Amino acid sequence: MALANTGEQPRRYRITAIFIDPDVCTCSQVCVGECPEVLDGNTASGVPRVRDGAEALFDSKAKEIERAAWACPVDAIRLTKQAI
């Protein structure tokens, strides 16, 4: 049986941490829109944070997390990755 070609490559790493640089972030909330399950923009400073317990979603939401980091207009998001 042939597998459908989705055009996606298998992921060879896992995201282990998300860091948002508060000195760079302009509080645009673009990243939150891309991955609201992991990022919470409702903070006193306006700088999003990783939701409590969201580390458990880093694998299942990896694509959305990558998109959030990519979409940040000021490149304030750093992802730490570990090869698998």
**Contact positions toward ligand SF4, by CB under 6 A?**
20, 25-31, 48, 72, 74, 76-77
- DSSP-based three-state secondary structure for 33: helix
- Contacts of residue 39, defined as CB under 8 A and 6 or more positions apart, other chains included, come to 18, 31, 32, 48, 49, 50, 51, 54, 68
Closest approach, Cβ 8 to ligand SF4, in A, equals 24
Q: Which is nearer to ligand SF4, 25 or 38 (CB)?
A: 25
Q: How far apart are CA 59 and CA 24, in angstroms?
A: 26
Q: How far apart are CA 12 and CA 34, in angstroms?
A: 22
Q: Which is nearer to ligand SF4, 43 or 60 (CB)?
A: 43
Q: Which is nearer to ligand SF4, 15 or 72 (CB)?
A: 72
Closest approach, Cβ 6 to ligand SF4, in A, equals 27
Closest approach, Cβ 46 to ligand SF4, in A, equals 7
